[in-house]
Structure formats: structure tokens, C-alpha cells
Amino acid sequence: MQLLQLALGDVEKHQYELTVEIFTEMGATWLAQGEHINASECFERARGIIHRLPRDVQLSMARVIAHTNRHRAEMYLAVEDPQRAMERVTEAIGILPAPEVTDYHEMVELQMLRSRCADALSLEEESTNAKMLVYAAAEFSKDAKLQDDVKQYLAPVMPEEV
């Protein structure tokens, strides 16, 4: 956390993407420590910066914004608000860049989170669709490690397909 705070001190005022990334990582660190209030404050700072930016700048930061929304969704799920978590996941998936530059690891993380949100909301079909997309993203990625990780995640649920 101290290194992130030091990095934040060195960021210039106009380096929006880096500032958002730092606040997102600070929030994720607080979340991992179970400090939901501090995590929420960091995510809100990141969100505030994002919403003040012009639309074209937001579009150029699509990956960073999707990553921020994923961590916000994880926080909402941790505080047992799966509906808001699902909204953030849906927003993150919608903003990911075009398929030719998609970050498959981020897509897998988002779809896994979408499945957890759907499970919490008792949306079985939504959960199943998310799990299929997890598998598809891993397969399209051509990343053997990601494919293995996904197979381990899906094995208890769909052993005949994995």
C-alpha cells in the first residue's frame, strides 16, 4: 500500500489513466484485506476521475475502466450486494475493447465474476452462459495456463464438457 501511495504522489495531475489504475489497485488491496470502506473510497475516487473525463478519453482507457469496474463488482459481492455487482460486471464487459485487442484474462475474470453474481441472484441460465463464455474466452486465448485454470474452475460444474 505504501508503494502505491508513493506512486500516487509522483503522478502528474494530467496522468488520468495512471491515477485511475493506482486508485483501483489501492482499492483492490484494501478489499483483499477486508477493509471495505477504504476499498470503496478508492474505487469512488477512480470512478470520479473516470466520469470527469471526456468520452473519447474514456474510450481510450477502456481496459483500465473495465478493470476498475471488475474490482468494484468484487467489492459489491463481498458486501453482499450481488445486484450492484452484476451491474458493474455488465458495464465492464460492455466497455472492453474490440475482440481483436481483447484481454482474454480480463474477460475470463469478468465472466467468472458474472457467474458468481448470477449464482447469488439465483439466475441459473445467466450463470451457465457466463461459464460457457469463460471456457470460450480461455479457448480463444490460446494461452495454455489460462485454459488449465479455467478447466479447474469449471470441472466441478461441467466435468463432461471440460
Instruction: Please enumerate, as own/partner, the contacts of 13-17 that have beta carbons within 8 Å and a separation of 24 or more.
Output: 16/49, 16/53, 16/57, 16/61, 17/61, 17/64
According to the model, what pLDDT value does residue 151 have?
Answer: 82
According to the model, what pLDDT value does residue 51 have?
Answer: 95
Q: How far is CA 13 from CA 10, 20, 51, 126, in A?
A: 9, 11, 16, 41
pTM score of the predicted model: 0.84
According to the model, what pLDDT value does residue 104 have?
Answer: 86
According to the model, what pLDDT value does residue 162 have?
Answer: 43
According to the model, what pLDDT value does residue 53 have?
Answer: 94
Instruction: Please enumerate, as own/partner, the contacts of 46-50 that have beta carbons within 8 Å and a separation of 24 or more.
Output: 46/19, 46/20, 47/72, 49/16, 49/19, 49/20, 49/23, 50/20
* Residue-level length of the chain: 162
According to the model, what pLDDT value does residue 158 have?
Answer: 57
CA angle 84/86/45 to nearest 5° reads 55
What is the block-wise mean pLDDT of the chain (162 residues), using blocks of 10 residues? 75 84 96 96 96 92 93 96 96 78 83 95 94 88 86 66 46
